[in-house]
Amino acid sequence: MEFSSLELCIFVMLFLSIGSFVSTLIYRFSPKNNLSLYKLFIERSNCDQCKSQINSYHLIPIFGYIFQAGKCKKCNHKISIFYPITEIFFCLLGIGIIYTYGLSIFSAYLIMLSIGFYTLFFLDFKYLYLPLSINLSIFLIGFSGNVFFSFSLDETITFFNLSPITFSLSGFLIGYSFLFITNFLYKKISTENGIGGGDFILFGGIGSIFGPFSLGPILFISSLTGIIFHIAKKGKNSTEIPFGSFLILGSVIYFFIKRYELFKNYLVI
């Protein structure tokens, strides 16, 4: 799909702004902040070191970081490079999506999923924390996409002649139940949790998007990447694995394999 220079500039600023929102969301949702709903979405941004409010023109995506030379103007505290990286990531992702799928509801669906997945990925990776509200939003996006718009990302819905509601709900219930039962059995043996409760809901939400038949391959990919990560971290202090992050990574890999028929001559997924 082709866009004029003006349209492209508008989309670039839009997706940079979405990236800015997501990076702020990750910071504000972190357990150390424990902010109220008002402070999460409405309160003005401030420096996390000196708490001074950030000027409006310093909040402009990318340029705000450049204007401040990567430091707070009041206290010279270094601003994380994560902010502009996230803005650039969503700019490239958003432009790629609308070039591929056009200005469509499906494009909006993929962007909303990307926001949820990206936020959860880094919250779990950095803090081992999966907020219930964002977890449930993944389920709601997946369920509404399948039921109201037939945006199934897996052709098994037609192969097994499933209704969209059955496809999405069964995916959620099986995904949630599998990890819940696995953790229940593990706890009986070891007397401690092996999987966080947020992972149950996240895997259920992933099932509501891709359907029940996707869960096996996604779990395999997620476990494999998690094992590689654990081996790479061997010798470090923390032995905890951000499994939710790897569930998301496994889902993204699964999406590309299925959507673009990667390795179709070698794999049956």
Specify burial of residue 144 (Cβ count, 10 A radius: 0-12, 13-18, 19+). middle
**225 and 248, same domain (yes or no):** yes
The answer on pLDDT for 208 being more than 80 is yes
Could you give the CA distance from residue 213 to residue 269 in angstroms, rounded to a whole number? Answer: 9
Alpha-carbon separation of residue 269 from 66, 117, 214, 229, 233 (angstroms): 45, 22, 8, 23, 30
Same domain, 160 and 193: yes
Long-range contacts of 66-74 (CB under 8 A, 24+ apart): 72/47, 74/47, 74/50
Highest mean pLDDT among 45-49, 65-69, 178-182: 178-182
Residues 52-88: pLDDT tens digits?
A: 777 777 788 898 888 888 888 888 888 889 999 999 9
Domain count, the chain: 2
pLDDT category, 262, cuts 50, 70, 90?
low
* 157 and 64 share one domain: no
The pLDDT score that the predictor gives to residue 131 is: 92
Decide if pLDDT at 261 tops 80: no
pLDDT at 204: 97
**Residue 88: its pLDDT value, please?**
97
pLDDT tier at 33, thresholds 50, 70, 90: confident
Average pLDDT of span 213-228: 94
243, pLDDT greater than 70: yes
191-200 pLDDT, tens digit per residue, is 788 898 999 9
Query: Hey, what amino acid is at 83?
Result: Y
Task: List, in sequence order, every residue forming a beta bridge with 71; answer none if it has no partner.
Answer: 78
Q: What percent of the chain has pLDDT over 90?
A: 54
pLDDT at position 67, please?
Answer: 87
Do residues 154 and 238 share a domain?
A: yes
Which of the listed residues 77, 103, 129 is the one where a domain comes to its end? Answer: 103
Of all residues in the chain, the percent with pLDDT exceeding 70 is 87
Q: What is the pLDDT of residue 264?
A: 60
Final residue of a structural domain among 40, 72, 103: 103
Q: Are residues 46 and 113 located together in one domain of the fold?
A: no
Instruction: Look at residue 31 in the predicted model and tell me its pLDDT.
Output: 82
> Which residue from 227, 224, 205 is spatially nearest to 215, judged by alpha carbons?
205
User: Does 16 score more than 70 pLDDT?
Assistant: yes
CA distance 39 to 54: 15
* Gap between the Cα atoms of 223 and 171, Å rounded: 19
Q: Is 214 exposed, middle or buried (0-12, 13-18, 19+ CB in 10 A)?
A: buried
Domain end among 103, 118, 140: 103
Nearest in space to 24 (alpha carbons), one of 104, 89, 84, 67? 84
State the residue range of the domain holding 217: 105-269
For the ranges 114-128, 221-235, 242-256, the lowest mean pLDDT is seen at: 221-235
Across the range 92-101, mean pLDDT stands at 95
Q: Are residues 52 and 88 in the same domain?
A: yes
Cβ-Cβ contacts under 8 Å for 116 (sequence gap 6 or more): 134, 137, 138, 141
What is the distance between the alpha carbons of residues 261 and 263, in angstroms, rounded to a whole number? 6
pLDDT tens digits along 116-134: 999 999 999 999 999 999 9
Closest CA to 169 of 205, 116, 135, 214: 205
pLDDT digits (tens, 9 = 90+) for 136-164: 999 999 999 988 887 765 566 666 677 88
Whole-number pLDDT of residue 215: 95
pTM: 0.90
Closest CA to 152 of 97, 211, 213, 96: 211
Mean predicted lDDT score pLDDT of the chain: 87
126 & 257 share domain:
yes
Q: Please, where are the H alpha helices in 30-163?
A: 37-41, 63-67, 82-101, 105-127, 132-149, 156-159
Return the pLDDT at 158: 65
Rounded CA gap, 15 and 18, in Å? 5
